[in-house]
């Protein structure tokens, strides 16, 4: 999460009821929140609503933020809690849908075939993440995709660092074991296997160009 130097001042103004400051805060962090929500929930039609709910909760509880942690850590905590709440409210796993237009940019510089393969891998990976438990998924997303440390994650998910590391270990283990169940990811693993055996694959050739 991007954190500007004046974040503290912005938060203080929000706590004082400054509407413009809250709007600034929203503009500054909305993309990070949307990205985290999407990574935790997968491609979902409710993304707008969940992001809106996160900022509504931020507005409601920002007065309780005392600055013990970085604002971004606190914001992540709110986001994770809202996502978990939404999922529990749904009482079932969300139905994965095709990524809406605009969620997966086409301008990746890859050939149409490679881009299609990449999209298939993203969707397959989202399905695998979906099969993890809530706790393991949250830790995996925060560490592997958001790049947070175990210490930061422990603050966000309110669990000891050792627990975070254990969840991360098992999340990786389960994902690795499930990987070949998804054809798009099995193809990637096969490709990497061929590469490691010294036979250049079409993908590797494409990447070398």
Q: Which residues bind another protein (CB under 8 A)?
A: 19, 23, 26, 30-32, 34-35, 38-39, 47-48, 51-52, 55-56, 59-60, 102-105, 118, 121-122, 124-125, 144-145, 147, 172, 175-177, 179-180, 185, 188-189, 192-193, 196
If the CB atoms of residues 77 and 203 are measured against another protein, the closer one turns out to be 203
Question: Do 136 and 187 contact (CB within 8 A), yes or no?
Answer: no
Q: Which residue, 138 or 175, is less far from another protein as judged by CB?
A: 175
Question: In the bound complex, what is the minimum distance in angstroms from residue 133's beta carbon to another protein?
Answer: 17
User: Min. distance of Cβ 103 from another protein in angstroms?
Assistant: 5
DSSP annotation string for 37-84: HHHHH-S-TTHHHHHHHHHHHHHHHGGG--SSS-HHHHHHHHHHHHHH
Nearest distance from C-beta of residue 165 to another protein, angstroms: 17
Q: Which is nearer to another protein, 164 or 175 (CB)?
A: 175
- Residue closest to 47 by CA, chosen among 103, 91, 1: 103
Which two three-digit tokens encode residue 105? 């940019």
User: Could you tell me the smallest distance in angstroms from the CB atom of residue 64 to another protein?
Assistant: 16
Classify each residue of 10-42 as buried b or exposed e, where b means 16 or more C-beta atoms within 10 Å of its C-beta: bbebbeeeeeebbebbbebbeebbbbbbbbbbb
Q: Which of 36/157 has CB closer to another protein?
A: 36
Pick the closer one to another protein by CB: 158 or 202.
Answer: 202
Nearer to another protein, 162 or 204 (CB): 204
Side-chain-facing half-sphere of 94: CA atoms under 13 Å: 26
* b/e burial code for range 50-84 (CB count within 10 A of at least 16 → b): bbebbbeebeeebeebeeeeebbbbbbbbbbbbbb
Say if residues 29 and 1 touch (Cβ distance below 8 Å): yes
Cβ 1 to another protein shortest distance, Å: 11
| ∠ Cα 181 148 85 (to 5°) | 70
Minimum distance from residue 40 beta carbon to another protein (Å): 12
């Amino acid at each position: 999460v991007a954190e500007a130097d004046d974040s503290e001042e912005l938060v203080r103004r929000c706590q004082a009821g400054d509407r413009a400051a809250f709007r600034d805060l929203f503009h500054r962090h909305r993309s990070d929140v949307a990205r985290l929500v999407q990574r935790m929930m997968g491609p979902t039609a409710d993304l707008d609503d969940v992001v809106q709910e996160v900022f509504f909760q931020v507005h409601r509880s920002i007065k309780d933020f005392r600055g013990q942690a970085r604002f971004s850590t606190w914001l992540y905590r709110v986001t994770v809690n809202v996502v978990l709440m939404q999922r529990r409210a749904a009482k079932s796993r969300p139905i994965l849908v095709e990524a809406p237009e605009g969620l997966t940019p086409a301008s990746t510089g890859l050939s149409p075939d490679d881009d299609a393969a990449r999209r298939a891998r993203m969707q397959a990976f989202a399905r695998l993440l979906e099969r993890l438990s809530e706790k393991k998924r949250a830790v995996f997303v925060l560490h592997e995709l958001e790049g947070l440390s175990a210490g930061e994650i422990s603050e966000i998910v309110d669990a000891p660092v050792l627990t975070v590391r254990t969840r991360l270990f098992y999340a990786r283990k389960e994902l690795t074991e499930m990987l070949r169940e998804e054809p798009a990811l099995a193809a990637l693993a096969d490709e990497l296997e061929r590469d490691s055996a010294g036979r250049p694959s079409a993908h590797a050739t494409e990447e070398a160009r």
